[in-house]
Amino acid sequence: MTKYNTWNQTETQKIVSMSELPNPKPRVVICVGDIHGFVTKLKNLWSNLERSIDRSEFETATVIFLGDYCDRGPDTRHVIDFLVALPSRYPRQKHVFLSGNHDLAFAAFLHLLPPPPDGSPFSDGWKEYAASEEREGWFNGEGFENMYLQGRRWSGKIKDKINTVKKTEYQGSIYDAGPTFESYGVPHGSAGSPLLFFALPTTNIYL
């Protein structure tokens, strides 16, 4: 009986001690969106965050990238290289990479999307937007027959020169994907997805 009381008292003391411990400080959460191929701006932003946030908090932060890493800016390749390197450079951080519509379209062009769950071909999805095919100049090179709609739109060559909504000039396609092709040193759309696929470092594909 005495032994039981001693054990019980010790365990009670442990429980009281644990209850007095301060709650762990929550991680800092950083959200970054719409990088769009501008690696200099990305690096400047990262440096500003590193200077502005307490060192220990920055090194253990959760960093959520909200997608749209490619297109528009000239350095998509370097943007993705920078992002891929983060886990090894900051091993205590948690990195979350979400896909934006530009990234989805890029992946579609590379045939990296899973097939439709109902077993239908990707071409069934073209029908709803077929009226826009000529104006947007959808990609019709090697591999287009089994390509998701947005992949064809992303890698196409739009006939309009000006985006009337944004008042900017299109850069190759309706997604402004021309600079992405250029950053990997391949012609915009004309070479087909295999050439761009092999131009990508392997680690980029699994981002």
What tokens were used for 60? 């253990």
Sign of CA dihedral 77, 80, 84, 86: positive
How far is it, in rounded angstroms, from Cα 194 to Cα 144? 11
Active site residues: 102
Could you give the 3-state DSSP secondary structure of residue 93?
coil
Quote the DSSP letter at residue 125.
G
Question: Which positions ≥6 away from 34 have C-beta within 8 Å?
Answer: 66, 67, 68, 100
Q: At what angle do helices 39-52 and 76-89 cross, to 10 degrees?
A: 30
How far is it, in rounded angstroms, from Cα 164 to Cα 166? 6
